[in-house]
A and B are shown apart, each in its own frame.
Chain A
Amino acid sequence: MNLWKMALICALGFTALWLLSPSRSRQAPEPGVVEISYMAPTGPIAAPMDDAVRVFEKHSRDAHAKDPSQPIYRVVSGQNASADPSADPTRFLVSVAGGMPPDVIAFDRFAISELSARGTFTPLDSYVNADLKAGRPDAIHSEDFFPSAWNEAVYTDPVSGSHALYGVPFSMDSRALFYNKSLLKKAGFVDANGEALPPRTWEQLESMEAKLTQTDEDGHLVRIGFVPNYGDSWLYIFGWMNGGEFMSPDGKHCTLNDPKIVGALNWMTQQYDNQGGAKAVYAFQSSFQGGELDPFIIGKVAMKIDGVWMLHQMSQYARHLDWAVAPPPIPQDMVTKTHTTLSWVGGWAYAIPSTAKHKDAAWALIRFLASKEAYKIMADSERLTNLSQGQSFVPRQVPNKAINDWLAKTYVYDDPASDPKVAAALRVFNDLIPEARYRPVTEVGQLLWNQQITCMENAIFHKQSAQESLDQGTSLVQRQLDLDLAPPQGIEVQWSWFVWPYVALVVLIIVLVYVWETRLGLRGTLAKWLAPVGGKRLLETGRGLEGVNGGHLSAQWKDGWFLASPWIIGFIVFTGGPILFAVLMSFCSYDVINNPRLIGLDNYRWLFFNDPLFWKSLWNTVYMLVGIPLGMALSLGLSMLLNAKIKGVALWRTLFYIPSIIPAVAAAILWIWILNPSSGLMNLMLASVGLHGPNWLQDEQTSKLSLVIMGLWASGGGIIIWLAGLKAISESYYEAAAIDGAGEVDSFLNITLPMLSPYIFFNLIMGLIGTIQIFLPAFIMTSGRPLNSTLFYVYYLFNNAFRYMLMGRAAAMAWFLFLIVFGLTLLQLYMSKRWVHYEGD
């Protein structure tokens, strides 16, 4: 009977597998078709791109029909599940390092230089020139583009001075000052005609802001006139406005502490202080919502510097608001006849990885996507999607001057249905582009970006003076830049070197272990030699194997190896090599893209002596360990409750388990809402008992605590292990104890806890390993902010590995962490002998 049952189950299982197998329905690649793999945040899955790509494919088919030597192209969705490859570069860098990059990638322009400097992308000049030489009508002309977009994709090597184009810009976004006209009018800032008059200089801005900011009787903000870093501005724009530069023109020096930038940061700090300090402003900001309730739209913010992308939202929700956009003001002493305002632009570009398989095809796709035809298709499609969802359409800014004008004219200026306020604003934004600044094209761009945020936060929260924090930031960036610009040091390491030594190492270890475990004579000799340093212990460790020379225990060897073989083989094939690699990398300088170079202990030295964030991140992580015992106690309590004789136990257990199955992204949305200082559930509950809740995630002091609470809430995940353990305790112990007159507390302390000790031990070890590697909350929710208070060790490690491309340093961090965890685990193991009780022993 059993055999039949088994056979039936197997048959069903295989049928299910066959039915589910994706190869069944997957179409084979068509012969003669070049597949271009395209990677972008939205990818061809998004309708506008999809439409353009289909037309591109159709063109290639038409061309092929006329001239069979022309290839047929098909664009396949490369990975598009990363919001921004410069924010989450894991996927892209891994595919480049693994030699399987996409053919075309859309990339944030300011991050292109960083990767180009390391040889990730193909220089595109030859493609551009070849098209020009061939006289193609669709050739790309650099002079058609705004220099502020085109030049951001041109990287000049500070050492050799050679420069090349690494990307074709396809989008851009300028920033300008949004102002609420009716608020300005009410406060009396009007011109001769009674029209609202926006500020022209910082000084005007400051005085207007003072008048527009309002507080209630308790001194809480009810309206902000203007805060520097609300919207999209950052230290960058204020630094430039004040005449500062962030990098020297030769690209060899970071000038983040330029006196002009220090001045700008001081001014920013002053603006926060004028309105009650950064803490109060941040608390007020945390009450902001989006959409129709955007703080600017409902008049909680009178002026802000923000990007052109806001127009979409404004056209949708701000129809009844009297608003306008003006060029951003600059300091009075910077104003000249020709220079009266300053904006900055960012944007994206298409690039071709240097190891891409189909570069010519990739270029053909880029050339098409840069054409007016493609922009029209995408704009039409996006417009349709917006309209069908009841939204209005404002085209994006485009780096090609003529196409940008055409888009704005066709879809906004000439469209009678478009909001005249939006049209006027778009003109201001477009007029700002030609003179706009862009972030320095340097290979430490990401680090510089992160540092300008850190410096700004440190200054506005008065953790450090502007000068101090900028000095510190500068020296950090400069040291890294010096390292990167110095001629490569050390011996270049080749991958192929490792294969045979690895095999030899594995064989050697196997032989050694075998000899060690079987030749007790050898061990005896060794023990005698080492007798003065406690060599006797060597013999003790072999106790379990006394049957070595033919006892019944040796019968277990073969079976033992056989049963353990899955892990042993898996370790040798999948895990061992990567671990060995990580060991080696910690002694190398490795940027993921080029071959690593051996540099000895430099990585460790840098971490221990040069990197304050390293210690900070370690402390942040250690703080999180407090959650382990709390979580264990909570989940054990819950399990005991669920283990009682109750009705509907399946339901109860499921209910308690639910928090741990909510997908991380959804849980993040939920908790950000719960912990919102002004409208979140947590503070509403505290307020109902008369307490004033803290700012939770927005406050340096409470951000980690918030994450601990979040972890506790998900601790129901542990109940299934506890339940399994509780169920394994025989009732008879409790009955016996009850007969002896033991109370419930006694039973718990003397029966339950000792019997659960293996599970406590398991949870302790796994909790330690898991908590010390905490990563997701920082990655999804906080990005390490505020003030690096949630910069956890592994998150910082990830930043080093994939954002700053310092894989070697990340590996060194990993090994340092490993030593800590390993040490703590050994300690627990050692102590566990005293309190962990296995029934089987």
Chain B
Amino acid sequence: MSKNYTVAARFRTLGIYSMLVVGAVIFCWPLLWLAFTSVKMDRELFTRRIHWIPEAPRPHMVAPYVDAYSFPDLDGPRQDELLPVLQSYFRPLAPALDPDLDPDALSVQLARGAYQHLSDNLPETAWTQTQADLRKMALAAMNPALTKELLRQAERGVIVGPLSARSYDLQEQELVSAEQVAGAWKIDGGAKGSLVPSPADRGAELHYDFSSGDKLRLTGTFTTDFPVDRLYHLQLALRSDESWNRIRATLEKNGRVLRADRIFPLADTNWSVITWQEPGPDDLTNKLKTWLILNQVKGAQSGVTGPNTIKVTIEFERNSFWGAWKDKVELNYLKVFDNMPFWRYVETSLLLVILNLFGTLLSSSMVAYSFARLNWPGRNLSFGLMMATMMIPSQVTMIPFFLVIKYLGWYNTLMPLWVCSFFASAFNVFLLYNFFKGIPQDLEDAAKIDGCGPIRSYWYIMLPLVQPALATVAVFTFMGVWNDFMGPLIFLNDQRLYPLSLGLYALNVQGSDGSIGMSVMLAGSVLMMLPVIAIFFFAQRYFIQGITMTGLKG
């Protein structure tokens, strides 16, 4: 008998846990999706097949190289027949295309790319032909232009472009022009490296090999047309090679050494312009921060002292697998911080949350208690009115409410966003009302006999009893205030007063034209959700604590 009982209990437990797991998977994967997508790069969002898990970064020690993943996810018929054919077509061509690349690896990738091109472009009828005919059609479709394009997609290499400087007086000076790149830089550091001129790419290709050392430095000393005190920023045009190696710049001038606060990861295959500048007026504006900051290295002395002389060092540093992961995760998250004064917004949000929690918990519980357990003239009418206020769409009362706030002089202040919480909101009152109604009368009667008035009995007896409900109200309030952007949107004009919700909303709006990637916006959402999850995790314990107290009524 007892054995049967335990078996049944085991099954029951198993059932509960399996339901929990299934439920958690369904309810939770959206968060995972958000988190995963928030670290993806743009090219992972726009690919033929979207993968769930972000692509692992693949650090490379040697460049230029052939990317073995340039054409992933081939789909289409008769791959086994066509790929070898195409490969043998490209193998003899490969050494001539780019002597620096491994011809075998290159021909494999070119074949894959060509197959993909064919599967998009050959007429439907071609795929039902005999092997020989298909082969003929495939080879007929090959041409030098296509090969060039495929090569562009399969090869990876760093192209160093021109370096230019700009003064605060908006003088623009090209320190290194595209033609001079190969000769302008002195190369040292532990790793092997060389700059090979590549006029077609408007720069020079950097060949490096980190097997003998972790660092490679390009150093150049330049004379500026303007005094170096007026130097506003340095800009280097560069094509990345997706090797996840890092770039860090050091600038020497006036006997000082300035070093970039952050690295620039070679994360994609695009041309970009890296901007370095000293801390300055730009940092105080709300601009999208597209530059890296050069901070002075304390105690370091430089031999470069001329009024018009600067020394620039571009350091390439080898990255490890985990280092690359760190850079990849940081990529989008740092953009959130760069695109808005994040911590300023968080502070405002916290301020609003604290004030709202205090106001709501106090006022709503008072009012709910009064409605639920006290008798006074006008109570029923008031309760009816309160319920009615929830049933009117806020869109029609928005304008007069705004007028009220304006007459109180609260426009463009934080006042309207927290003062109202001290006047009890209908939803919370109604929620607490239900809890207060559920508490047995005996408890209060006993208190009354001991000489407790309604206010004392509210504070000392009832409030502790509805703790679980208060925790509920607190969670709702926290979430409401934390996520609310409509209130701040309407009542705030000054960007310095924004809470995080509105700051993020503004970021989303700005990004909707494509200037900020979707992953960055999702990274913002993740950052915004984390505190709510944490709060909930810790607050839910109070729901349990509540029973030990209510339990005493028996």
Contact = CB atoms under 8 A, between A and B. Distances in A.
B185 interface: no
A798 B394 CA distance: 10
A592 interface: yes
B397 A388 contact: no
B391 A825 contact: yes
A330 B395 CA distance: 44
A556 B398 contact: no
Contacts of B391: 769, 817-818, 821-822, 825
Given A568-B382, A723-B543, A814-B393, A655 B268 contact: no
Nearest to A214: B124
Contacts of B31: 658, 662
Contacts of A566: 363, 366-367, 422-424
Contact of A91 (B34, B414, B489): B489
B438 to A, nearest CB: 5
Contact of A37 (B20, B437, B493, B553): B493
Nearest to B369: A563
A567 B424 contact: yes
A97 B402 contact: yes
Interface stretch (B245-253, B309-317, B371-379): B371-379
B483 A385 contact: no
A838 B528 CA distance: 39
Contacts of A97: 399, 402-403
A62 to B, nearest CB: 14
Contacts of B33: 670
Contact of A390 (B202, B270, B496): B270
Given A50-B286, A94-B490, A656-B23, A560 B375 contact: yes
B385 interface: yes
Contacts of A547: 375
A12 to B, nearest CB: 11
Given A100-B406, A388-B272, A556-B374, A646 B20 contact: yes
A500 to B, nearest CB: 15
A762 B510 contact: no
Given A44-B286, A571-B385, A577-B400, A839 B354 contact: no
Contacts of A582: 392, 396-397, 400
A16 B468 CA distance: 26
Q: Which of the listed residues B31, B350, B436 has the most CB atoms from chain A within 10 Å of its own CB?
A: B31
B134 interface: no
Q: Which of the listed residues B26, B240, B401, B430 has the most CB atoms from chain A within 10 Å of its own CB?
A: B401
A517 B411 CA distance: 40
B399 A81 contact: no
A132 interface: no
Contacts of A190: none
Contacts of A77: 286, 494-495
Interface stretch (A336-344, A480-488, A725-733): A725-733
B525 A662 contact: yes
B533 A45 contact: no
A570 B366 CA distance: 13
Given A292-B43, A385-B288, A563 B386 contact: no
Contacts of B280: none
A94 B398 contact: yes
A786 interface: no
Contact of B554 (A80, A730, A825): A730
A539 interface: no
Interface size class for chain A?
35 or more
Nearest to B485: A81
Contacts of A818: 388, 391-392
A560 B414 contact: no
Interface in A177-225: 182, 214, 216
A489 to B, nearest CB: 22
Nearest to A651: B537
Contacts of B287: 45-47, 50-51
Interface in B45-73: 45-48, 50
A762 B374 contact: no
Interface in B426-471: 427, 429-431, 434-441, 453-455, 458, 468-469, 471
Contacts of A130: none
A497 B275 CA distance: 61
A577 to B, nearest CB: 6
B543 A769 contact: no
A507 interface: no
A834 interface: no
A545 B375 contact: yes
Contact of B509 (A81, A679, A732): A81
B382 A581 contact: no
A759 interface: yes
A814 B411 CA distance: 26
Given A384-B290, A563-B370, A22 B404 contact: no
B149 A320 contact: yes
Chain A interface mostly: helix
A298 B120 contact: yes
Given A47-B288, A656-B27, A646 B17 contact: yes
A98 interface: yes
A563 B367 contact: yes
B472 interface: yes
Interface in A567-584: 567-571, 573-575, 577-579, 581-582
B93 interface: no
B472 A721 contact: yes
A570 B420 contact: yes
Interface string A398-432: 00000000000000000001000000000000000
Contact of A653 (B19, B377, B540): B540
B297 interface: no
A702 interface: no
A378 interface: no
Contact of B19 (A320, A641, A821): A641
A80 B373 CA distance: 47
B80 to A, nearest CB: 22
Contacts of A839: 438-440
A840 B275 contact: no
B387 interface: yes
Contacts of A730: 550-551, 553-554
B27 A658 contact: yes
Contact of B468 (A95, A573, A727, A794): A727
A292 B44 CA distance: 11
Contacts of A80: 495, 506, 509-510
Given A389-B290, A578-B401, A663 B528 contact: yes
Interface string A319-347: 01000000000000000000000000000
Contacts of A4: none
Contacts of B489: 79, 81-82, 90-91
Q: Shortest 10 CB-CB distances between A and B: which pairs? A: A570-B423, A390-B270, A560-B376, A517-B377, A291-B46, A563-B370, A578-B397, A560-B374, A20-B351, A578-B400
Given A663-B528, A669-B518, 4 more contacts: A102-B493, A570-B420, A658-B30, A727-B546
27 contacts: A16-B350, A17-B355, A44-B286, A45-B506, A80-B506, A82-B509, A90-B398, A214-B124, A290-B46, A291-B46, A559-B454, A564-B376, A564-B382, A566-B366, A570-B423, A581-B397, A654-B537, A662-B34, A664-B483, A716-B27, A728-B438, A759-B434, A775-B393, A801-B395, A807-B399, A810-B395, A840-B436
